[in-house]
């Protein structure tokens, strides 16, 4: 893609400033200051305040300025339409030649000063000082695609297309009016490589061991180059980076997507065109949709499903009572001669979710959650990864790969983690032991030796697949990993009425004695063979049905018919997120990352440390256990009715001790809930007593709210409901 303009807007150096057309105002209410909703985009103020509060957790200095203070700092700026700005003294821009020159000058002169850089997210422009000139650039909605890349073009430039770049002039002149009478010294227009999610591509290629990528820096190479280079070097030498780099890891994309021209083109365009757009908590892409759909897609669409996109999959987000809302083909936001969609039910419902308050469909999701707690809900989880680990050394591989003891009899299912050599969590998943046999089907492939069925989170399928394969290869285990993700559907029926519903569908005894928690069986459902597992990710009595793809629709319809008189409702992942956080269940790469240990995350029960069996990461966990924990994952609830979304600063006794990783709303307890890792500012151990002895608050949009810390789940802490005790 071509980009008209100059330097990167996301880099470091001189001070930076972010403008906002919505900001704090004084209000005569119990909570004091509130976020105003005036101006072109009320989300702009929330963006500023969110960055301001998160910076406190990382020690990044920033200041909230009034329009008058902004004018004094940047006299050229028009502040008439601003409520305020976020000023970051140590932010800015650098380029290779300028960096060298600046270092030389600084050594001789000590203390030369540049105006601050300015980024206006509403106008999608940036302005920064470059020598004796002011550089103006931005991100347009209609960037030019470079269709014929030539290896002879290296470090070349294009002629500036003023028709494309002109859209930035109006915003730049509005923000800095003197530009209207200022001449143009020079122009720069060169190609930019933008990835489908606006993040770099790093790490070992899934297709070729030993081949590492470090590319696709999306106009932010100077900002990211130092840290990414250091992590990539560590990655090559030690097999993994020191820090959590999953968001940049090439394995975050499924192999079916990376070579798909339409998906890459559409998503790369949207990531560029929306580079300065406010990212709302429940936003979804409109590009590259409907790439991978589950067997129940049409059934759910007819029920009013609002789909979310994850890893190319269309998974159910929530169900609207307003009718069907299909995702339409990407319209490039009206660019390149495309007609922008005028009547797009999905787009309109999604736009309604663009808020940092409780979303307008909060009560719809509430009904899904309370139906699950009070009766039953059915969740389509077909986008989950479904692998078989089989062969002569499958048990040896399982013992080494999985932190929990999975060497149990066939019919057992175990929740476990996979760790790296530093004790960090590469995955959490369920592992089911299979009985050997001649059967060859998606439910039970033929194998000799031992066999396990693995169910992994859908958004991390490629990461799990690549990680398991690399371990099998490095340890030379004689076993096979089979991917049946596309061959099987998965529906989960959860809630106090789930047993009564499934008794009408399954030909199995579902009593506690015959079908206890964490077990699985091959059974018949409405005449179709399925694998039933008694598991829950929402903290209720329930079963998962793993179903061959051709059988998914008839089995789903049978479940819905049987559940009609029991209050069964279809529900989506927005409900799962809130139900699971209310119960305290972990989400990988939210509560659990490759730099978090299961001990820190409260998952010691998923580690076979009492047994003598070696497993990957064991030595690191034993050392950490002996030395004590320096941080600990803690649950927080807020009594005041305010939405919490994650990344809020955590205050303990007047000090910032971390930030929230994940947040949601617990409808059964009627409170906002958040999880975050707490550390001791003095560097000491974080014991349960340390956690319980502090006074806590969460900072949301510049306002702190008292919070209660919990070491156990605030909902059903004794785990009675998953046992069927109500």
The domains of the chain, with CATH numbers, are 20-181 (3.30.9.10), 385-484+597-627 (3.30.70.1400)
Strand, coil or helix: 264: helix
**What is the pTM for the complete model shown?**
0.86
Overall residue count recorded for the chain in this entry: 726
| pLDDT tens digits along 16-37 | 555 444 333 222 223 222 222 2
Alpha helices (H) in 340-437, listed in sequence order:
345-352, 362-374, 394-401
- Contact yes or no for 371/318 (Cβ under 8 A): no
> Is pLDDT of 489 > 50?
yes
Task: Summarize the confidence of residues 117-140 as an average pLDDT.
Answer: 89
> Is pLDDT of 110 > 80?
no
| Nearest Cα to Cα of residue 443 among 556, 534, 510, 523 | 523
Distance CA 9, CA 101 (A): 20
Task: Summarize the confidence of residues 644-665 as an average pLDDT.
Answer: 96
Task: Summarize the confidence of residues 441-453 as an average pLDDT.
Answer: 92
Distance CA 214, CA 218 (A): 12
Strand runs labelled E in 435-554: 450-456, 480-483, 488-494, 520-525, 528-533, 542-548
Task: Summarize the confidence of residues 224-247 as an average pLDDT.
Answer: 95
> Is pLDDT of 5 > 60?
no
Res 611: pLDDT: 95
The residues facing 4 across adjacent strands are: 189
Distance CA 703, CA 30 (A): 12
Res 219: pLDDT: 86
Distance CA 524, CA 543 (A): 14
Res 23: pLDDT: 32
> Is pLDDT of 15 > 70?
no
Least confident of 163-172, 391-400, 552-561: 163-172
Distance CA 94, CA 221 (A): 10
Res 100: pLDDT: 64
The whole-chain average pLDDT of the chain stands at 90
Res 407: pLDDT: 95
Strand, coil or helix: 210: coil
Res 436: pLDDT: 84
Least confident of 89-103, 394-408, 593-607: 89-103
| pLDDT tens digits along 78-88 | 999 988 888 88
| Nearest Cα to Cα of residue 398 among 385, 384, 413 | 413
> Is pLDDT of 105 > 80?
no
Strand, coil or helix: 380: strand
- CA distances from residue 106 to 98, 99, 100, 113, 688 in whole angstroms, order as listed: 12, 10, 10, 10, 48
Task: Summarize the confidence of residues 376-394 as an average pLDDT.
Answer: 97
Strand, coil or helix: 694: coil
- CA distances from residue 401 to 232, 398, 472, 608 in whole angstroms, order as listed: 24, 5, 9, 12
Question: In the chain, what percentage of residues exceed pLDDT 90?
Answer: 74
Least confident of 21-35, 260-274, 366-380, 559-573: 21-35
Q: Phi/psi of residue 250, each to 5°?
A: -55, -25
Q: Residue 356: pLDDT band by 50, 70, 90 thresholds?
A: very high
């Amino acid at each position: 893609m071509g980009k008209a303009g100059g330097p990167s807007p996301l880099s470091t150096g001189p001070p930076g400033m972010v403008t906002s057309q919505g900001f704090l105002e004084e209000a005569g209410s119990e909570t004091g200051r509130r976020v105003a909703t005036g101006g072109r985009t009320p989300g702009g103020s929330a963006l500023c305040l969110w960055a301001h509060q998160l910076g406190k957790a990382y020690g990044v200095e920033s200041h909230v300025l009034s329009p008058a203070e902004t004018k004094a700092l940047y006299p050229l700026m028009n502040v008439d339409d601003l409520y305020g700005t976020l000023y970051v003294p140590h932010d800015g821009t650098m380029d290779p030649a300028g960096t060298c020159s600046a270092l030389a000058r600084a050594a001789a002169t000590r203390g030369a000063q540049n105006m601050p850089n300015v980024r206006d997210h509403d106008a999608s422009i940036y302005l920064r000082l470059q020598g004796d000139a002011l550089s103006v650039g931005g991100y347009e909605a209609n960037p030019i695609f470079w269709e014929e890349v030539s290896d002879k073009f290296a470090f070349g430039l294009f002629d500036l297309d003023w028709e494309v770049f002109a859209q930035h002039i109006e915003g730049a002149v509005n923000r800095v009016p003197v530009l209207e009478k200022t001449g143009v010294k020079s122009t720069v227009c060169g190609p930019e490589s933008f990835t489908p999610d606006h993040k770099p591509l790093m790490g070992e290629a899934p297709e070729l061991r030993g081949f590492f990528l470090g590319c696709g820096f999306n106009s932010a190479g100077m900002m990211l180059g130092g840290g990414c280079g250091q992590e990539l070097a560590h990655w090559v030498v030690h097999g993994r980076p020191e820090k959590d780099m999953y968001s940049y890891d090439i394995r975050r994309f499924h192999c079916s997507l990376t070579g798909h021209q339409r998906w890459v083109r559409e998503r790369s365009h949207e990531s560029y065109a929306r580079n300065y757009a406010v990212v709302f908590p429940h936003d979804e892409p409109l590009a590259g949709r409907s790439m991978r759909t589950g067997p129940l897609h049409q059934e759910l669409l007819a029920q009013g499903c609002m789909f979310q996109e994850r890893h190319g999959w269309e998974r159910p987000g929530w169900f609207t009572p307003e009718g069907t809302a299909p995702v339409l083909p990407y319209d490039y936001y009206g660019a390149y001669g495309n007609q922008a969609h005028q009547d797009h039910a999905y787009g309109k419902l999604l736009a309604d979710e663009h808020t940092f308050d409780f979303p307008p469909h909060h009560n719809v999701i509430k009904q899904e959650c309370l139906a699950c707690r009070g009766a039953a809900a059915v969740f389509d989880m077909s986008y989950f990864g479904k692998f078989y680990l089989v062969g002569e050394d499958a048990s040896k591989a399982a013992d080494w790969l999985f932190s929990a003891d999975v060497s149990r009899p066939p019919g057992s299912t175990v929740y476990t983690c996979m760790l790296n050599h530093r004790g960090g969590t590469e995955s959490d998943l369920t592992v089911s032991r299979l009985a050997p046999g001649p059967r060859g089907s998606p439910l039970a492939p033929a194998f000799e030796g031992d066999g396990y069925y693995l169910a992994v989170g859908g958004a991390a399928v490629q990461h799990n697949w690549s990680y398991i394969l690399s371990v099998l290869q490095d340890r030379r285990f004689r076993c096979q990993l089979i991917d049946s993700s596309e061959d099987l559907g998965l529906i989960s029926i959860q809630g106090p009425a789930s047993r009564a519903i499934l008794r009408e569908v399954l030909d199995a005894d579902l009593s506690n004695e015959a079908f206890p928690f964490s077990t699985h069986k091959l059974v018949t459902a409405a005449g179709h063979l399925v694998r039933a597992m008694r598991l829950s990710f929402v903290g209720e009595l329930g079963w998962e049905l793993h179903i061959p793809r051709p059988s998914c629709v008839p089995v789903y319809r049978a479940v819905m018919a049987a559940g009609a008189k029991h209050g069964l409702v279809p529900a989506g992942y927005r409900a799962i997120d809130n139900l699971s956080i209310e119960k305290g269940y972990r989400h990988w790469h939210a509560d659990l990352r490759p730099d978090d240990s299961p001990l820190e995350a409260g998952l010691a029960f998923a580690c076979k440390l009492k047994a003598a069996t070696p497993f990957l990461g064991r030595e690191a966990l034993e050392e950490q256990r002996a030395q004590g924990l320096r941080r600990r994952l803690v649950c927080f609830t807020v009594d005041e009715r305010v939405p919490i979304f994650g990344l809020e600063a955590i205050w303990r006794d007047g000090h910032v001790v971390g930030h929230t990783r994940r947040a949601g709303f617990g409808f059964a307890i009627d409170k906002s809930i958040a999880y975050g890792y707490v550390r001791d500012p003095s560097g000491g151990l974080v014991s349960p007593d340390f956690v319980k002895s502090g006074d806590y608050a969460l900072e949301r949009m510049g306002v702190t709210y008292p919070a209660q810390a919990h070491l156990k789940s605030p909902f059903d802490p004794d785990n009675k409901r998953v046992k069927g005790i109500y």
